[in-house]
């Protein structure tokens, strides 16, 4: 394992006005690893994920992508300077995000959604972007819907399209923000199936989820967030079988019922 983690979250604090959401959260995600973040609603899971790609700017702390800080850089005189939006954008494109609400662009076809960022942001030639896009759609088994508009797809299909869209950027890591929380149970499985395959292929992933069975099965590490901090973390077999925190045990008990 390389010593520099793919993603390092270091002492991240985030507050919205008087409301504190994250209080010094730190963890590493190594290449090819899957880290799941679990916790009750309102425990700061989604905010944490949004901080990782700077959709929310942390109030303190830093995110490192392969050792490079996302929010600041050293200038020529060795002082730390906040990065401009353009610089943050350059680093952000290395992280693929999948949202709870899919957030496909409704005015573009499925393939249009998938090739948009590779063409406009990565500046790939159209033909190359389309080849990559089609390969990603095949991977999520959605190639037959390439020319449909998102409004005509089921929730599960939309979410798989959103995964293909993120994959097409060839990101260094994928961030999943409760990707199945808006789906009916029968549609959840098709999305989890795709994510299982990604994990098996060695994709680096951070997954915020309520799917405990999934977290247990695919994660290398699970983080339990409670009250703005990491209450407990560890390998899934330890966390799910031998939790030391009383709060985590109570939390997991709700899912066993």
Partner 1 sequence: MSNSLKQALDLSLFWEYRAILLQGLVVNALVFLCAALLALSAGLGAALLRVNRFFPTRLIGTLHVELFRNAPDYIMLVWVHFVLPLLIGIMIKRRVEFHPFVSAVIALGLVYSGYFAETFRAGIEAIPRGNLDAARGFGMSERLILWRIMLPQVVRRMLPEALNQFVSLFKATTIVSLIAVPDLMYAVSMVTQQEMRPLPLYTGAALTYFLIILIFATGVRAFSERWRRKILE
93 binds partner 1 (CB under 8 A): yes
Using the rule CB under 8 A, is 151 a contact of partner 1? yes
41-70 residues in contact with partner 1 (CB under 8 A) are 53, 55
Name the CA dihedral angle for 232, 235, 238, 240, rounded to a multiple of 10 degrees: 80
Q: Does 170 bind partner 1 (CB under 8 A)?
A: no
Task: Confirm or reject binding of residue 147 to partner 1 (CB under 8 A).
Answer: no
Is 143 exposed, middle or buried, given 0-12, 13-18 or 19+ CB atoms closer than 10 A? middle
Q: What backbone phi and psi angles, to 5 degrees, belong to 231?
A: -80, -40
Cα 165 from chain centroid?
13
CB of 92 to partner 1, least distance (A): 4
Pick out residues in 219-248 that bind partner 1 (CB under 8 A). none
- Whichever of 85 and 253 has its CB closer to partner 1, that residue is 85
Applying CB under 8 A, does 104 fall inside the site for partner 1? yes
Distances 94 to 73, 146, 169 between C-alpha atoms, Å:
17, 24, 7
Half-sphere exposure of 34 (CA within 13 A, CB side): 23
The pair of three-digit structure tokens given for residue 179, joined into one six-digit string: 């990707």
Select 94 or 232, whichever has its Cβ closest to partner 1: 94
Distance in Å, CB of 103 to partner 1, minimum: 4
Q: Count of residues binding partner 1 (CB under 8 A)?
A: 28
What's the token pair of residue 167? 């994959």
CB neighbour burial string for 60-73, b if at least 16 within 10 angstroms, e if fewer: ebbbbbeeebbbee
**Shortest spacing between CB 150 and partner 1, in angstroms:** 8
Q: Please report whether residue 120 would count as binding partner 1 according to CB under 8 A.
A: yes
Check if the beta carbon of residue 59 is closer than 8 Å to that of residue 13: yes
Q: Which of 14, 33, 45, 92 binds partner 1 (CB under 8 A)?
A: 92
User: Of 11, 26, 80, 101, which one interacts with partner 1 (CB under 8 A)?
Assistant: 101
- Tell me the residue length of the chain: 257
Given 103, 141, 154, 245, the residue binding partner 1 (CB under 8 A): 103
Q: Phi first, then psi: what are they for 79, rounded to 5°?
A: -90, 150
Residue 74's beta-bridge partner residues? Answer: 80
71-90 residues in contact with partner 1 (CB under 8 A) are: 85-86, 89-90
Nearest residue to 191 via CA among 162, 152, 150: 162
Judged by CB under 8 A, the residue of 65, 70, 95, 137 near partner 1 is 95
Which one of 107, 126, 138, 250 is in contact with partner 1 (CB under 8 A)?
107
> What does the binding site for partner 1 look like in residue numbers (CB under 8 A)?
53, 55, 85-86, 89-93, 95-97, 99, 101, 103-107, 116-117, 120-121, 149-151, 162, 169
């Amino acid at each position: 394992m390389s010593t520099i983690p793919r993603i390092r979250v270091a002492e991240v604090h985030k507050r919205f006005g008087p409301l504190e959401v994250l209080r010094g959260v730190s963890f590493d995600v190594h290449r090819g690893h899957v880290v799941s973040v679990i916790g009750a609603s309102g425990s700061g899971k989604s905010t944490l994920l949004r901080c990782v790609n700077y959709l929310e700017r942390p109030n303190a702390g830093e995110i490192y992508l392969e050792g490079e800080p996302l929010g600041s850089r050293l200038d020529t005189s060795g002082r730390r300077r906040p990065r401009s939006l353009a610089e943050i954008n350059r680093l952000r494109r290395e992280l693929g995000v999948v949202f709870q609400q899919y957030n496909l662009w409704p005015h573009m076809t499925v393939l249009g959604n998938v090739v948009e960022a590779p063409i406009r942001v990565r500046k790939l030639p159209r033909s190359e972007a389309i080849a990559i896009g089609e390969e990603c759609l095949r991977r999520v088994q959605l190639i037959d819907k390439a020319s449909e508009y998102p409004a005509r797809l089921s929730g599960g299909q939309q979410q798989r399209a959103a995964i293909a869209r993120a994959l097409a950027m060839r990101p260094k890591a994928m961030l999943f923000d409760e990707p199945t929380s808006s789906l009916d149970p029968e549609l959840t499985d098709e999305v989890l199936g795709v994510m299982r395959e990604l994990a098996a292929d060695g994709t680096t992933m951070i997954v915020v989820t309520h799917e405990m069975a999934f977290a247990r099965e695919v994660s290398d590490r699970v983080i339990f967030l409670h009250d703005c901090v990491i209450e407990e973390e560890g390998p899934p077999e330890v966390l799910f079988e031998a939790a030391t925190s009383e709060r985590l045990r109570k939390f997991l008990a709700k899912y066993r019922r």
